[in-house]
Amino acid sequence: MRRELFRVFFVTFIIMKTRIIVLFFIVAGTKLISQTSPVATKIIEFSMKNFGKKVDRGECWDLANAALNYANADWEAPFKFGDKQNYQKDGLQTADILQFSNIKMKMPNGAMSFPKHTAIVYKAKGKQVTLIHQNFNNKRYVDTISISLDYIKSGKIEAFRPKEKL
């Protein structure tokens, strides 16, 4: 009986926690997307509608593909997601698409790598970036991760700014 009560409580807690996190991102995302282009707004809208869900096959590229198509963006598959940006000089904006290649990061509490990964910028402040992505760390669903670009030790990041079709 106690075990069953605990299980019900735990499952209810997890469901409520997930709903609160999704609600937070939707509310926070409303402020972020109100300051961006219509294409960026649609990309973030699509990504947040699918938060916690598997998009297509669950590959990282599938999220960017579906979000760009949902936004009716002008892009060329597989990896020309828009206008290429010099993110180190010009910074990143909400809905920029990042293509990671052989990235190795060393952080104070461990290490992380992105051998080949596609992600969407949710927000960026200087070198602190929150990404929306899927298929990372055995999670084949849409999730977020915050990283500092200062921790990159090797590899390459290409940044693209999605644009509207003319």
pLDDT computed for residue 1 by the predictor: 53
Task: Dig out the tokens for 98 from the structure.
Answer: 């990042």
Kindly write down the DSSP assignment for every residue of 62-120, as one continuous string.
HHHHHHHHHTTEE-BTTTB-SEEE-HHHH---TT-EEEEEEEEEEETTEEEEEEEEEEE
SS3 55: coil
Q: What CA–CA distance (Å, rounded) separates 166 from 164?
A: 6
Q: Which of 33-37, 87-91, 92-96, 126-130 has the weakest average pLDDT?
A: 33-37
Q: What CA–CA distance (Å, rounded) separates 19 from 2?
A: 26
Is 88's pLDDT higher than 70?
yes
**What single letter denotes the amino acid at residue 58?**
G
* CATH fold of 2-164: endopeptidase fold (from Nostoc punctiforme) (3.90.1720)
What distances in angstroms separate CA 62 from CA 28, 106, 132, one per listed residue?
24, 27, 12
How large is the average pLDDT for residues 120-134? 96
pLDDT computed for residue 4 by the predictor: 55
Average pLDDT taken over every residue of the chain? 85
Q: What CA–CA distance (Å, rounded) separates 119 from 159?
A: 10
The tens digit of pLDDT for each residue in 40-59 reads 999 999 999 999 999 999 99
Q: What CA–CA distance (Å, rounded) separates 55 from 132?
A: 12
How large is the average pLDDT for residues 59-88? 96
Long-range contacts for 106-109 (Cβ within 8 Å, ≥24 apart)? 106/151, 106/153, 107/148, 107/151
Residue for token pair 């200062």? 150
Are the C-beta atoms of residues 120 and 47 closer than 8 Å to each other?
Answer: yes
